Amino acid sequence: MQEMINKGDGMNKTYEEQQKELVAAGIKRAEEVMAINKEFANKFNELISWAADWCLTFHDMNNVDKLDWNIDRITIPFKSEPELQEAIKKAIHYEIKKRTLDSYLKHRD
């Protein structure tokens, strides 16, 4: 005999049925979270790409202090989250280094 659990709305469901529903709901939520994370990653990459473009367009590459000043200005909205602000700064620096190295290597060949 299978144990029946009262759902509260008058319908009885077995433990196994409730377990299947919970697993399905968990899988659905995990997929939603993955989609949100993917969207965040895409937006983050767009921000980093835009910031690198902006920095490379509007300053002298030989002036590192000016580059840091530009990056600081870009990350002002994230000041309330210091760890996120630092991560964004590092990502922008990395993207700029990657682009300038790629550009250097293309011009060298």
> What does the pLDDT look like over 44-64, one tens digit per residue?
888 888 888 887 776 666 666
pLDDT digits (tens, 9 = 90+) for 86-101: 998 999 889 888 887 7
Rounded distance, CA 37 to CA 55, Å?
A: 27
- Across 15-19, 58-62, 67-71, 76-80, which has the greatest mean pLDDT? 15-19
Q: 15-57 vs 82-108: helix axis angle to the nearest 10?
A: 60
Q: What is the pTM of this model?
A: 0.57
Domain ranges of the chain: 4-108
Rounded distance, CA 44 to CA 91, Å?
A: 10
Task: Please give the residue that has the higher pLDDT: either 1 or 44.
Answer: 44
Is the pLDDT assigned to residue 67 strictly greater than 50?
yes
